[in-house]
Structure 1
């Protein structure tokens, strides 16, 4: 049998990671090498094959048609190799464990989960509720969903994939929202709070460049989802991230009378650095696609004078 005529396997692996992740930096993080190493491997592969696999400026490289065909074939081939590798006893039946902010899981993730199940019926998914720190190995977590600032220090033990932008603003039932015409009318209504993030109103005011007078009535709830149900019931005005109220706004259960402020924080998928399982990589890539398909939040034109709003920075992701 004739010897196989294949390009260097390291170059193929680097190119497949770039094609799947879409960015040199993400491919480099996954393979625990430098950005320059990925770039050199791809150039080596192009020289070996004598065809262009990428095009565009260096900071926004995209796959050519030939590159896309090769990348898709490589992903399928590597998936088949990974699936054929011997597993530890019982490992094949293990569920993909996803650690997630509870309200985000309830309001954003689980309503979309049937799409992932239909596309990957072979991957059982178990959602575990968590707001705080976690350890991939000790807690048995395959992928974690958390809020992070784009310029937060890199995690030494996690690859971070942002997949959803953040926006936040006041929401209320249609009946109460009809009473909100400006900030003065908003200030007269009961104000709802969640004990997991009592600073939310103050941070929103600072970000939007405004000051509300103290509320005449304040109501507190233990969790975001309790507070949002109270808002839908007409008990007051809540401050909420868009991801938590997207479906309620679309259904008309809640209204954002003053729009939402775009924020700096991003919802991110974290996987073990360089050790993400195939199932975790599939789930992460699915999250990125779902985030890209999420509609934009209501605008904030009514809230402040044009140009006055500043990006909202959350001090901690206790959502």
Structure 2
């Protein structure tokens, strides 16, 4: 604990986008500064603060600086405020906001108690009423990479077709899975070389939604060409197998999947939900359409089904962009600059 200067709390058991951020970022940060996580739902490979070490929060680390408590959820802001203001732990409070909506009054109250605020995109920053820095998420370029072996080819999946178009993530209306399925029902009869692949978990509350999509597919006679694979063992290889990735969300916080596709040299058609429009350069690395607009989504996908070479070119441009602007080390460095500014102000 004498070396730990940053605490990254994680107070949610279920996997979420915040979980993914913490799991990917903390090892990068740990190579640059002393950092530990606290809370459930994280792998044991991360540096963790154990219950018996909690009293150490009231002792400053060897550097003499106050520790930074970096919250990403309301409950984590509440805990940080309680530790600092009520229990008098020597902490600085930092919050990262990914929300793409006006914050509720209580959240605004919590945010005003933070000493620094990070927005994950310009759009999320536009909903903040306090000074902030934009530090966009990055992607693990070692885990997500272009095709490098035969298993990365779509043919290795043993599915019909020459090319694949994919839509990954939880199957539900918010993610726009129905918009993707409807686009595929409209397009695939005209493009026999293409197969559509949907991966992701179906929660009990979304079972009826998924069943209705499968009913539509069956009614169109496309059960063998629009495939629901459920949760796959390794999603990374599927980004490499598809020629086109579609992110049709109606709303998002940030949304990492387009970056994961770009890092895999795969072209992207995305809605303008979340930070998608700040990642995908329309006409260069893919296409961006209005969220919830099924007709626009279908038209954008059609362009790539017509011309697989265009998808390849845009995928290659996406890889260049991901490597230049969206690698994890860049995100970690941006966050560290915020930490340094907080420490420089002292208090």
Question: Structure 1 length as normaliser, TM-score?
Answer: 0.32
Work out which of the two has the higher radius of gyration on C-alpha atoms and give 1 or 2. Answer: 1
